[in-house]
Every structure is written in structure tokens, then in C-alpha cells.
Amino acid sequence: MTTPPALSRRRLLSAAGALSTAALLAGCAGTVRDSYAQPGGTVPDRYGRRTRVVLWSSFADIPGETLLALADAFNQGQRDIYVEVQFQGSYDDTFRKTVVGRLGGQVPDLVTLSDVTWGKFLIGGALQPWDELARASGLDLGVYNQHLLKEGLAKDGRNYWIPMARSTPLFYYNRTLFKKAGLPDRAPATWFEMRDWAKEFGKVRLGGNRPKMEAYYKQDGDWQFLGSCWQWGGSWSRGLDITLDSPEVAAAGAWQRRLIYRDRLSYMATDAGLDFGNQLTASVVNSTGALGKFATLAKGSGFRLGTGFVPRGHHFGVPTGGSGFCSFKGVPRERQQAAMEFIKFLARPENSAEWTVKTGYLPVVDAAVRTPKLASLMKADPNFTTSIQQLARTRNQDLARLLVPNANVKVYTGLQKIWSDDADPAKVFRQVADQLRKGMDRVRDSIEQHVRV
């Protein structure tokens, strides 16, 4: 028989043992799992016996409705698969929920990840390549716009990111206001021309308000700014070297700072698109994917919408962007194959065209342009041709934005300082460049392992 203290000690030790087991469990979180659970949801009775595919999407409003309608059509058109679209919020929200879900052992079968987030999973070795699945389902990846498809190609020669809601920035303008100010009915060719126009424009009044020429997005404005950097001859990075602290980038920032603080032609807006829709500004640079939304807003506010190429600076410079489909290792093969069937369905020219017609995103399948639906619309509404024509002149984004963790957030936080604090761009970007360099050093090895530089 043990004496009491010894016994209590034993008890305590065994309790401590149990706890450290739990603690060890915690220590294991985040290591690779063999399989992941599927997020819950609700399956309508009539689809109860099918293979269920959970798709996490970032699309609300018009794109969201269009995707739902396409999924509906897919579900009704065959008898084996049920695709359930689960809206997860913005691109960043979707990314965060996917990371967090994965730590908890749960991933969707299919997810739309943006340009700046999918690479993080790629270099973390988390993604499932699509090539073999595509072959098995009889989808020829050659149907995609090769320029867009190639952006999802990794160093191992496989495709991890299938084009879905791909976009470029466009110059949107309020034709009614432009006319009122006596300006030509077109996008300015250069930013310098636009600034000259602003003198005329200064006289326009609308309901007691004096509309501004343009506004910058408080969040995610770094995408448009990447284009500005190129237009002024700069870049965020060359290869894996950070070049954000170059005089060219500072000049691009200084231009916007001057427009805000000296010329009073622009400002930082929480939602620059909404302000444009409410005619608080005469123009805005935003994704092609916003075309559908702006058309609706314009109708609501009673103005005519115009689009054009993004104006030049010293050069022409427009990036691609948007999101594509990814799937994860550890999702059962059966569901990956089922997910592939849905991708194949979306890759039919008429479906790709439907997506483009409704939303304004680029037609990711080349043949979509030749479908009657899209062809006739392009003839009737020139706004739909702008992005397609501009696509040929786009450029792949600098690697720093795509692969350095949170490079986009760091740059737009820097931009906020310029736009709302009148901070010196050279100083701001020197600071951000330092952070990007540190970030790049952390991921350089993984990038070199997974990405063609």
C-alpha cells in the first residue's frame, strides 16, 4: 500500500501525462494529414445519393448568382454529381477560411483562390495538380486561353490553378458627366491627358456636389497600383529581387499623391466603385469583373457607362488578376474527379460565354468569343470588347506580389499612408521594400522549389 503523498504524486503525474498528450496533439496541428473532412452543408433530397462536391467561392451579387445558376444547370444536367456552392466572403476571407479549415482537418473539394493567395498553397505543397484529372475526364486544357492558363503552371510542369474568374483592370467612366464637361467620349490616352481634362471638368456640378475625377480603393488598391508602377517604368520585383524602392515606383506614388493633395482631383474611398456608381467620381479603374455591377449601378443612377484601356503613364502597363480553381491533396480521388467534371462543364464555350456575358470577367475559354451569345453582345455593347482587346497587352504580375506573403496588404497599407496621410512615397516604399525583402528571404527556397522564376 502506498502512502498518501506518493499516491497523490502518482495521480498528479498521470494527470500531467494526459495533459501532455493533449498538448502533443496540439503540437501536431498543421502537419500534413492523409485525408481531410468535407465541410458540412445541406443536400436537397433529390440529389441525396450523388457524389457531393463542395465549392467554396468568393462571389456575391451578379457573379455569385451566375455561378449558382451554372451549378444548378450542371446539377440538373447529369445524375452522378451534386455541386454545392458555399459563399465564403471576399478573396481574402476565402483564403483565410481555407487555411484555418485545413488546420482543423477540413477542406472544400474545390475553391476559388485569387492570384495572390493560391501561390501560398502551392509553395506549401498543399495543392493537387489538375492535369491527370483533366485527362481522365477528357478535358483538353488546350481549350483555355493559354496566356491565362500558364499563370497556373508550376515548376514541375503541371497546372494547379485553372482559370475561372480572370480579369484585368479597366478604365470605367461616366459618359454622361464627361459630356456635360465637354470632354471627348473616350478614355484618356494617358494620365497626363486626364489631368489636363480635369481643368474643364472642375466646372461640373451635380446636385450640389462637385464630382471628383477619380478615387482610389482603400483596400486592394495595390493591384491597380502595380499597373501604375509599370506605367512609370518601375516594378515591385525583377525575378526574386525586390525593386519597389526604385525612383520609378516613387514617381508613380508621387503622381497620385499630387492628384489628391495638390490638384484635389482624387481621394481615397472605402468603396471607390460605389462612389463611382453614385456619381461622386467620374471614373474609376477596376476589374473587368465589375462590369456587370457597374452597368446596373449606372442604370440605377441614370448615367451612361463607358470603358476604355487603362491610360498610359510613360508606358502602357496592365496586369491580369482574378481567381482560379484549386483543389487540395488529401481530398478523395472520387470527389476530385467529380470536381473536375464541373470544371469541364464550365469550360464548355457556351458556359464560359454565359459567365462572361453576365459578369464581365474575361472569357477564359478562347472559343467562347465565337459563341453567338458573346459575339452578338460584343457587337452591341463595346464595353464587352474592351477587356478582351486589352488582354493581349497584359503582363504577368511581378512575383513579389504573387508569392511574398501579404505583399499586397503591405503595399496597400503603404498606399493608404500616401493617400490619407500625404506621406512621402519614396520613404513609404523604402520601408515596404524592406519588409518585402525580408518576406522574400523567408520564402525564396520554397519558391525556387515550386515556381518557374
Partner 1 sequence: MTGTTTAPPAVRRNRAARPVQYVLLVLVAVLAFGPVYWLISSALKPGQDIYRYPPEWIPTRLRWQNFADAWNAVPFGHFFVNSSVVAVAGTALELLFAVLCAYGFAFLAFPRKRLLFLVLLGAMMVPGNVTLLPNFLTIASLGWVNTWAGLIAPGLGSVFATFLLRQHFLTLPKEILEAARVDGAGHLRTLFTVVLPLSRPILVTVALVTIVTKWNDFIWPLIVTNSDSMRTLPIGLLYLNNVETSQNWGAILAGTVIVVLPILVVFLLAQRHIIAGLTQGATK
Partner 2 sequence: MSTAPPPAVPVPAEPAAASRGPSGLRRRRRREYQLFLAFIAPNFVFLLLFAYWPVVYSAYLSLTRWDMVSPVKRFVGLDNYADLLTDPDFLGVLWTTLLFVVGVVAGSLIIGIATSLLLNQRLRARNAVRTAVFAPYVVTGAAVGTLWLFIFDPNYGLLKPLMGAVGLNAPAMMTDSHWALIGLIVVYLWKNTGFVAVIYLAGLQGLPRELYEAAELDGAGPWTRFRRLTLPLLSPVTFFVLVTMVIQTFQAFDIIAVMTGGGPANATSILSWFIYQQGFQTFDAGRAAGGAIIMFAVLLTITGLQARFLERRVHYR
Q: Write out the residues near partner 2 by the rule CB under 8 A.
A: 3-5, 7-9, 11-13, 15-16, 18-19, 22-23, 26-27, 30-32, 92, 96, 99-100, 102-103, 120-121, 123-126, 218, 268, 270, 405-406, 409, 413, 416-417, 420-421, 431, 435, 438, 442, 446
Query: Is residue 105 part of the contact set for partner 1 (CB under 8 A)?
Result: yes
Count CA within 13 A, CB hemisphere, residue 88: 27
Spatial CA neighbour of 191 closest among 244, 281, 265, 246: 265
- Fill in the amino acid letter for 227: G
Taking CB under 8 A as the rule, does residue 7 contact partner 1? no
In the shown chain, the binding pattern of residues 246 to 285 toward partner 1, with x for contact by CB under 8 A and - for none, equals -------------------------x--x-----------
Q: Of residues 10, 79, 104, 135, which one binds partner 1 by CB under 8 A?
A: 104
Q: Which stretch binds partner 1 (CB under 8 A): 102-110, 236-244, 359-367, 416-424?
A: 102-110
With CB under 5 to 8 Å by kind, the binding choice for 28 among partner 2, partner 1, none is partner 1
Take residue 3 and report the three cell numbers written for it: 502512502
Hey, which residues between 33 and 92 contact partner 1 (CB under 8 A)?
A: 39-40, 86, 89
Contact 240, 404 (CB under 8 A): no
Between CA 209 and CA 447 the distance in angstroms is 50
Closer by beta carbon to partner 2, 15 or else 73: 15
- Measure the CA–CA gap between 222 and 285, rounded to whole angstroms: 12
Distance of CA 55 to CAs 74, 78, 133, 324, 330, Å? 13, 18, 17, 12, 16
- Least Cβ distance, residue 433 to partner 1 (angstroms): 28
Please identify, among the stretches 74-82, 97-105, 230-238, 389-397, the one whose residues bind partner 1 according to the rule CB under 8 A.
97-105
Between 425-450 and 247-261, two packed helices, what is the crossing angle to 10 degrees?
A: 130
Sheet holding 305-308, edge to edge: 283-287, 169-174, 305-308
> Quick one: 26 or 380, whose CB is closer to partner 2?
26
d(CA 165, CA 161): 11
- Does residue number 100 form part of the binding site for partner 1 (CB under 8 A)? yes
Concatenated DSSP letters of 119-145: HHHHHTT-BPPSHHHHHHHT--GGGB-
Residues engaged in binding partner 1 (CB under 8 A): 4-5, 8, 22-23, 25-30, 39-40, 86, 89, 97, 100-101, 103-106, 271, 274
